[in-house]
Every structure is written in structure tokens, then in C-alpha cells.
Amino acid sequence: MNILVTGSAGFIGYHVTKRLLDDGHHVVGLDNLNDYYSVKLKKDRLKETGIDLQQKTNSKEAIESNVSENYIFYQAELGKREEIESIFENHSFDVVINLAAQAGVRFSLKNPHAYIESNINGFLHILEGCRNSEVDHLIYASSSSVYGDSKDTPFKTSHSVDRPVSLYAASKISNELMAYTYSHLYDIPSTGLRFFTVYGPWGRPDMAYFKFADLMKSGKPIDIYNNGDMYRDFTYIDDIVESIIRLIPKPPSNDNQPPEHVFNIGHGDPVKLMDFIHILEDNMGIEAQKNFKPMQPGDVPRTWADTEDLFKYINFRPDVSFEQGIEEFVKWYDEKWA
């Protein structure tokens, strides 16, 4: 297949792109390589998939592309309409996997405009590209953040999501509504994925497990919010990738009107924050210095995914335990990052 992956230098996008290339697909990737977190990490991920930006020659074109075997990479802005239109005009895609977004709950409190530009305007440009090029299947990233601080657990896709507690969450709810509308108007088969705290090797340094590892390694204290009374449904990256790969050939049927689905992707087994810290300490061989603090604005005390619908649809359930996943992350961290 010919597949577009947006956010292909990001955490999930990198792993999905690598798996698609390993499976023999032709991939076009795009990423803006912004400095929300380490640009070097993003470039290192690209290098793992055959794109070495250090060897890039200057180009007079508006969008610069870099090519390796079966992979074309564009450094482009999702929020810039002309750039996205150009990519869709120059390529024919069977599937579009939209993983590009401005991430982070707390960052949305400081820089809200970035979320509208990337997550709202940018997603509109993707939808328009799919509409004008008759893509067979659009798969896009949503988030467990859409459930807000709901006490009704485990979270089910049938639950109401009209009470977001961060602009990031509001932008993801908007994506789901936009995809539904385009599916209804233009019969675009679309699948939205509500990711639950994805972690693992090559992850995002702003995520708690990665940030804690950095602080512990440097002998600095970690901040523990809500006095440690927090639970997260951690989902290992390989389980996320396997789910996406199985979804690619299963677009919603036109028997569905509109042809759209939204699924939770989570492990289904929330881990208490203090247990998570102890597991990380055991694997790193370091005892963390701990600062206990109250809940932060925009944060939620618990996430917990009901994944029965996804399991019935693709016959797969995330099964990597948190203990296994953290062990793999620490191995990568010690070898590639520390």
C-alpha cells in the first residue's frame, strides 16, 4: 500500500512508520520537527528509518523531501494548507494515518494557539486531502483525555465526552466531530483511536516515565501530583502499533452510516502512580527523591480503557505488562539516551 503517516518523526509515528516499512509498504511521512521536545531525538528516530537529515542538500522548493528505500519524508507543517495540499497532489494514498498533533495537556495552558493551528486547522487540511483524493481509510489519533475527569470507569466510547478539562482534550474531541462530519458528507471511512498513556523506547521526554528517569539519573527530585493518588492505563508502544496495523485493512463498512469508528486503545489495567515509580526505581537501580504536590490544572486522577470493541473488531488485545514495558524502556534509555 501507499500510506501517508503524519507525525512520522514523533514517538508513535516513528514506530508505525518503521513497522510499515518492515512490512514492505511505501510510506510518505511528514513532520514539522518542532522544538516542543528534543529535535535531536526526532532526527535520531528518522535516522533509524533511513532518513539522515544531516546529509540533506538545500532545496529551493517550499517543501523539502528526503528519500530512503520505500520512504519519502517531508519536513512540513500540518497547519499550512498549501504544504499539505502539495503532498496530496504529488502522491496517491490508499491509507492516511494522522498522528501529528501538538501534544501535552499542561503545554496547552501556556500555548493554546499551537493546538488550534496544528490539531484543528491541521486536521481540517488532512480531511480535505482525503476528500479530494478518495483515500480508502483515514486512521487518526484521538486521546483518553477526551474523557476528562469522569468517575465512570472503565472509560467506554459510548460515554459522554462533552466535559473536557484541557484545550488539548477539546481539540481531540473536535477531531472526532470533524471526522464524523466528513464521513457523513463524503463517505470517508475513518477510524479514531483514543490512546491511553503510550510509553516505551524512543518515547517522549515530556511524559512522566521518561521525565522521571531523567531526573532520577541526574539525582534531582521528582514531583508527584495529587499526593500520589493517580492511576494511568499505560499502553506499550508495540501494542499500539499492532493495533494500528490490524486496523489498516479494516475500514468501517459503508453499511455504517456514516462509515466511521472510534476505539479505545489501552491496556485495560490502570497502574497506581506510586507502583509505577517503584517499578521504575527497581529497573534503574535508583531510589527517587520525591516531592508530593497537589493536583495540577487540566490533569485527571485516573484513566482506564474498556477495549472490548477493539478486541472484537481486530481480535487483538494489548498484552505487554507494565513491568515488561518499563524494563524495555530502561534498556533503551541506558543504551541510547542516558
Q: What is the DSSP string of 199-242?
A: ESTT--TTSHHHHHHHHHHTT--EEEEGGG--EE--EEHHHHHH
* Per-residue pLDDT in tens (0 to 9) along the chain, 338 residues: 999 999 999 999 999 999 999 999 999 999 999 999 999 999 999 999 999 887 554 444 445 578 877 999 999 999 999 999 999 999 999 999 999 999 888 788 889 999 999 999 999 999 999 999 989 999 999 999 999 989 899 999 999 999 999 999 999 999 999 999 999 999 999 999 999 999 999 999 999 999 999 999 999 999 999 989 999 999 999 999 999 999 999 999 877 689 999 999 999 999 999 999 999 999 999 999 999 999 988 888 899 999 999 999 999 999 999 999 999 999 999 999 98
Q: Where are the domains of the chain?
A: 2-199+235-267+305-319
Any idea what DSSP says for residue 252? P
Q: Are 155 and 147 in contact (CB under 8 A)?
A: yes
pLDDT score for 66: 82
Burial class (CB in 10 A: 0-12, 13-18, 19+), 53: middle
Look at the domain 2-199+235-267+305-319 and name its fold: Rossmann fold (3.40.50)
The 10 Å Cβ neighbour count of residue 40 is 8
Q: What is the pTM of this model?
A: 0.95
Residues marked active site are found at 168
**Chain position carrying cell 505488562:** 321
Q: Are 180 and 218 in contact (CB under 8 A)?
A: no
Distance CA 67, CA 63 (A): 13
Residue with cell 503532498: 87
Calculate ∠ Cα 29-247-136, nearest 5°: 65
pLDDT of residue 57: 43
Q: From 230, 315, 322, select the one nearest 267 (Cα to Cα).
A: 322
| Collapsed DSSP state (helix, strand, coil) of residue 68 | strand
Helix axes 167-186, 122-133, angle to 10 degrees: 20
Q: Which residues pair with 143 in a beta bridge?
A: 195
Confidence (pLDDT) at 209: 97
What is the structure's pLDDT at 188?
A: 96
Whole-number Å distance between alpha carbons of 149 and 164: 8
CA distance 110 to 121: 19
Spatial separation of the C-alpha atoms in residues 215 and 221, rounded to whole Å = 6
Contact 199, 235 (CB under 8 A): yes
Query: Distance from first CA to last CA of the chain, Å, rounded?
Result: 37
For residue 296, the model assigns a pLDDT of 86
Give the pLDDT confidence score for residue 59 in this predicted structure. Answer: 42
CA-wise closest residue to 324 among 140, 189, 148, 200? 200
The confidence score (pLDDT) of residue 5 equals 98
Cell 533511513, residue located: 50
